[in-house]
Structure 1
Amino acid sequence: MRPRHLSRRGLLAGGAAALTACSASGPSRPSAPASDSPETVLVKQLIAEKERTIALYSALIAGGGGEKLVPFRDRHQAHVNELRKHVTLPAAPPSPTGSPTGSPTGPAAPGKPSLSRLRDLERKASAQRPKQLAAVSPGMAQLIASIGACEAAHAVALPKSL
């Protein structure tokens, strides 16, 4: 009896059937991690931005800025806490100095921390929020809009001096 030769198409069809059977019997394992959705990317960017803002507030508070700025910083921390509920972030390596994550001289907030710098940062951040709403789910849009409203209020409510 002569061995039967499979066509390329037949071989591929059989391989696909075998793969389907294998995947049905166990969890599938992607060869590469799935990329983040646009919403997840935005949320991660917002978290990083908020952490830099918190670092600026903390620097002013530690530099003798007093207790007037603590409620502002705490509201930003509440934003970060809420945003983190919507994404899975890798654990950050411990900071060697024990300082908060983010840098007061990061891209969103270069220069020396000051009230006018914070006011400007809050104003610019709140102006960006409406532009970010189109690409997110309704629930996330509501959260981002609320954050923007808070930032706009901060820009007005920050004390003129410490």
Structure 2
Amino acid sequence: MRPRHLSRRALLAGGAAALTACSASGPPSPTTPAVDSPETRLLRELIADKERTIALYTSLIADGGDKLVPFRDRHQAHLDELRKHVPGGASTSAPPPSAQATATPSTTPSATPSAPPKPSLSRLRKVEDDAAELRTRQLATVSPGVAQLIASIGACEAAHAVALPRSL
């Protein structure tokens, strides 16, 4: 029998479950991986991605996007939870704040574009959608506890991509 894979649409169909991923109650705490393990490196990448996403939200909020505050706050909660699972603190080598506001998840090439895209709702929606898709690929190589945390974050990001307002 072929394994069954759920599409993002199927995951979102259980809207309550996806929104639960953004609640204060989350998965049980995963064990802390070794300082130099692949899992720790992935967690550090996730932290850097979250920092860039928060910077993008903050930029749009500063331009009058008050509707985005709850979304940004959920990302901050994700960031806080991820930092708990990184041994030796959660310092990252994130780009400077000006670059953070327009960066995408860590799958983007390292080449620097000549003019970074301007923060916008459509850009934010794409960042959320791309991040949610990336999370499913990240699950294969991590421990069950960390996989549950990443899956919850991905579900929340997928819900954000759909729930973001169409205008500010």
TM-score, length basis structure 1: 0.69
Q: Which residue of 2 aligns with 1:14?
A: none
SS at match of 2:141: coil
Q: Does the residue aligned with 2:147 lie in a helix, a strand or coil? A: helix
- Please state whether the residue corresponding to 1:134 is helix, strand or coil: helix
Contact 1:57 1:69 (8 Å CA) reproduced: yes
**Which one of 126, 139, 142 corresponds to residue 120 of structure 1?**
126
Counterpart of 1:132 (choices 127, 131, 138) is: 138
Q: Which residue of 2 aligns with 1:74?
A: 73
Per the TM alignment, residue 105 of structure 1 is displaced from its structure 2 partner at its CA by 2.9
How far the C-alpha of 1:64 sits from its partner, in A, is: 1.3
TM-score by length of 2: 0.67
Further displaced range: 101-110 or 76-85:
101-110
Say whether 1:106 aligns with 2:112: no
The amino acid that maps onto 1:114 is S
Q: CA offset at residue 130 of structure 1?
A: 1.1
Q: Displacement, 1:90? A: 6.1
Deviation digits for residues 50-95 of structure 1 (CA, Å, limit 9, x no counterpart): 0000000000000111x21000000000000000001133657xxx
Hey, what does 1:36 align to over in structure 2? 36
Q: Is the 8 A contact 1:129 1:144 kept in 2?
A: yes
| Aligned position for 1:96 | none
Take 1:90 and 1:126, find their aligned partners in 2: how far apart are those partners?
A: 22
Alpha-carbon shift at residue 100 of structure 1 (Å): 6.0
Q: How many residues align?
A: 123
User: Which SS does the other structure have where 2:89 is aligned?
Assistant: coil
Do the aligned partners of 1:60 and 1:113 also contact (CA within 8 Å) in 2?
yes
2:62 corresponds to which residue? Answer: 62
Percent sequence identity over aligned pairs? 68
Q: Which amino acid aligns with 2:102?
A: T
Check if 1:147 corresponds to 2:147.
no
CA contact (8 A) 1:51 1:102 kept: no
SS in structure 2 at match of 1:133: helix
C-alpha contact (below 8 Å) 1:55/1:103 kept by paired residues: yes
Native 8 Å contact 2:54 2:72 kept in 1:
yes
Please, which runs of 5 or more residues in structure 1 have no aligned partner?
A: 1-33, 93-98
In structure 2, what is the Cα distance between the partners aligned to 1:76 and 1:107?
14
The structure showing larger relative contact order (alpha-carbon pairs under 8 Å, at least 6 residues apart) is 2
One-letter amino acid matched to 1:53 = T
Kindly indicate whether the alpha-carbon contact (under 8 Å) linking 2:125 and 2:160 is maintained by their aligned counterparts in 1: yes
Question: Paired residue for 1:48?
Answer: 48
